[in-house]
Amino acid sequence: MPGLDQDFLRTLKDKLNIVDVASGYFSLEKRGTNYWACCPFHHEKTASFSVNESGQFYHCFGCGASGDVIKLVSEMESLDFMDTVKLLCERAGLQMPQTAADNRRTAENKRRRDTILKIMNDCAHFYLDNLNSGKADAHIQYILNRRIPSGVVRSFGLGASLNFYDLPAFLLRKGYSKQDILDSGTVNEVDGRLVDAQGGRLIFPIINALDEVVAFGGRVLKKTDFAKYKNTKETVVFNKSKTLYNINLLKKLKRSQTIKEVIMVEGYMDTISLYSSGFKNVVASMGTSLTQDQARLIKRYTDTVLISYDGDAAGQKANLRGLDILKGEGLNVKVVPLPEGLDPDDVIKQQGAEGYQKCLDVAMPLIDYKLLILERSFDLTKTEDKRRYVAEAIRLIKTADSAAEQEDLLKKLRDKTGYTYESLNRDLASAPSQLEIKSDKREERADNATASLKASRFVIASYLFGADYTKDTDIREIPFTNDIHAILAKYILSKRLMEERIHLSEIFEFFEENSPEYEELSRILDYSDGAGFSGEVAEKYFFDSIIKLKKDFIDGEISELSQKISAVPDIGERKSYAERINELLKQKEKLKHGAQS
């Protein structure tokens, strides 16, 4: 692991329980000795993701995702190794060590990131002080007009930019360099002069799941040619496609209760309006097309997302691809129908929380919503339009998750068009299957391993997971030709010689992530459910596997010697090789009789 002492990393992992950490991201169910969940890294309906408390590691038997507590948090928080360790040190109450091994580039990147985060924090306080300064009458009036309670103003950290020049002057007085200020995105340079990127606007701090201010949104307070809302630019701490507005408060909500569903809206004011009305399970995509990173971010908190964009049909149709991305990451997607032309904030204002709840209560599954949008594209009173609509609808119904869902949708299509169920069902049967939008999620793995490789894996796994029949065997007598298995065998031997317990979480330190070696380690962990290590069948396979590895090793040596006999002219050398081959054949015959006895 880069730049950190191995003993420190083991101390850190010893202070953390991977089950406690994992349960902060998704729900776990204990079955037997392990904890189980649907994998957060690939779409599945049956839980195959196992968290092993005794070994302090996780492993998915579907896609092969594996790792220790550090890898898990790195994946879930989208952090690099050093930032993950820093986060876990804070959780465990450990001091992050200073590393002499940090190279200049790493150190400079860390300095830039830390500096920009400090600038963002100082800007947030600056804007907040402005709002409370008595000089922000227009900003206060806007807040009052939008009926935002003072407590919600504080919770979201709303602030005020009074002009274009106070913020840059404030940051320069704080001692920040001009370049760092510009890199933060809070300030632009116009005609050689630094100006507040959100000059004169009401300020919405954008805060990540780690409670760090990473960007700012701003809203103009009067009619202008400028955009009504805008964000500060993307930086080393802010990537819009990986961020959701209000994710920090959603994370706090999860600590106090189970989140059954998350409401997804488009903008800041929709979020704040819903939050003020008691719908605290709300986030906003900030006007961007939804991404896989955002989908994965939501999946840390819930499996169901309610899309509550405005009631403009054209706008909703444009968002269909984003909704497919959410579904592609395994989320149950429902769409909240709103009155035409109204957004969630409008509904709250006109109908109150009760009226908005009624909209949530009739949220429709994604495929039903797609059919509704499709229907709006045709005039069903016209024969040609109706036929085209049915053809398109049939292709869409073909993508439904189950036969029961297809049947239900076909009945609705029958009632809407007047065609018989039987004719629609025949069309469905002959319709081509549509390809779903692909995501870069991990897919279920095919295993093309040879019998020898599988035998070697089982032997290593038997030692790692403490099978009883390994106790009186000497791992040094087993020839592992696979390099990864040989490394693990040395680790197992060292633990045995020192009479120490095997710490399974340590084995992830031996190999680079996302390497072929790491993938092979994942294959070994496919045995980690423990069910395959008990009983006479497992014991026999273990000893048969050892014999196979020894015979294969002998065959390899015989093949090599045979090639040498053919290549060397010296009779003495050839005789020596032939004698060695004869000895190996006797060893192989002895192994054969040993296997039969």
Residues 160 and 263 reside in one and the same domain: no
Say whether both 555 and 459 belong to one domain.
Answer: yes
Residues 222 and 343 in one domain: no
pLDDT of residue 271: 96
The answer to whether residue 312 is domain-embedded is yes
Looking at the fold, whether 585 and 514 belong to one and the same domain comes out as: yes
| Beta carbons within 10 angstroms of residue 471's beta carbon | 9
For residue 319, pLDDT beyond 70: no
- Residues 211 and 194 both lie in one domain: yes
Strand-pair category, 304-307 with 332-335: parallel
Q: Is 7 helix (H, G, I), strand (E, B) or coil?
A: helix
DSSP 194: E
Residue 440 pLDDT level (bands cut at 50, 70, 90): very low
Query: Does some domain include residue 1?
Result: no
pLDDT (tens digit, 9 = 90+) per residue, 332-357? Answer: 999 998 888 888 999 999 999 999 99
pTM over 0.85: no
| SS3 sequence of 251-296 | HHHHHHCCCCCEEEECCHHHHHHHHHCCCCCEEECCCCCCCHHHHH
230: tokens are 């805008």
How far is it, in rounded angstroms, from Cα 353 to Cα 368?
25
- Contact call for residues 547 and 560 (beta carbons, < 8 A): no
Asked whether residue 161 falls in the same domain as residue 272, the answer is no
Please report which confidence band the pLDDT of residue 447 belongs to, taking 50, 70 and 90 as the band edges.
low
CA 180 vs. chain centroid, Å, equals 31
Domain contains 305: yes
Tell me, yes or no, whether 183 lies in a domain.
Answer: yes
**pLDDT of residue 259 exceeding 70:** yes
> Based on the domain organization, do 251 and 174 belong to the same domain?
no
Q: Which amino acid is at 485?
A: H
Place of tokens 């995501």: 439
Same domain (yes/no): 510, 589: yes
Which token pair is 499? 């009479």
Distance CA 186, CA 231 (A): 9
216 forms beta bridges with 205
Same domain, 221 and 254: no
pLDDT at site 565: 85
Look at residue 286 and tell me whether its pLDDT is greater than 50. yes
Which domain, by its residues, includes 382? 378-430
How many structural domains are present in the chain? 5
| Nearest by Cα to 371 from 348, 343, 345, 399 | 399
CA angle 583, 589, 592 (to 5 degrees): 145
Q: Which of 238, 263, 298 is the last residue of a domain?
A: 238
- Domain shared by 458 and 536, yes or no: yes
> 590 pLDDT exceeds 60?
yes
Point out which residues pair with 213 in neighbouring strands.
207
Same domain, 85 and 114: no
Q: Is the pLDDT of residue 100 over 80?
A: no
Of residues 460, 438, 479, 430, the one with CA closest to residue 525: 460
Q: pLDDT tens, 353-394?
A: 999 999 999 999 989 988 988 888 888 889 998 999 999 999
Whose tokens are 């947030």? That residue is: 124
Last residue of a domain, one of 192, 208, 238: 238
Strand order in the sheet with 364-365: 282-284, 262-265, 304-307, 332-335, 364-365
Distance CA 550, CA 159 (A): 72
Which residue type, as a one-letter code, is found at position 354? E
Tell me how far apart the alpha carbons of residues 151 and 98 are, in angstroms, rounded to a whole number: 40
| Tens digit of each residue's pLDDT (9 = 90 or more) over 22-51 | 988 888 888 888 899 988 887 777 888 999
**Over pLDDT 70: what percentage of the chain?**
91
Alpha helices in 444-535 (DSSP H): 451-464, 483-497, 516-525
Dihedral, 473, 536, 61, 302 alpha carbons, nearest 10: -110
* Overall average pLDDT of the 97-108 stretch: 62
The rounded distance, in Å, linking the Cα atoms of 507 and 512 is 11
Lowest mean pLDDT among 105-114, 130-139, 468-477: 105-114
Q: What is the CATH number of the domain that holds 39?
A: 3.90.580.10
435 within a domain of the structure (yes/no)? no
CA distance 348 to 243: 25
Based on the domain organization, do 263 and 243 belong to the same domain?
yes
Nearest to 155 by CA among 78, 225, 238, 211: 211
DSSP code for 402: S
Tens-digit pLDDT profile for residues 389-424: 999 999 999 988 888 999 999 999 999 999 999 999
Q: Which among 209, 277, 206, 278 is positioned nearest to 240, based on CA atoms?
A: 206
Cα–Cα–Cα angle for 177, 181, 184, rounded to 5 degrees: 140
Which residue, 306, 337, 363, sits at the end of a domain?
Answer: 363
Query: Mean pLDDT of all residues in the chain?
Result: 87
Confidence label for 177 from pLDDT (cuts 50, 70 and 90): very high
In a domain, 28, yes or no: yes
Residue 149 falls within a domain, yes or no?
Answer: yes
Q: Is the pLDDT of residue 118 over 50?
A: yes
pLDDT of 276 strictly over 80: yes
**Contacts for 103 with CB less than 8 Å, ≥ 6 apart:** none
Rg (alpha carbons) of the chain, rounded to whole number: 31
CB atoms within 10 A of CB 506: 18
Write the CB contacts of 269 (distance below 8 Å, at least 6 apart in sequence).
146, 219, 345
Backbone angles phi, psi at 130, to 5 degrees: -60, -45
Average pLDDT over residues 198-215: 94
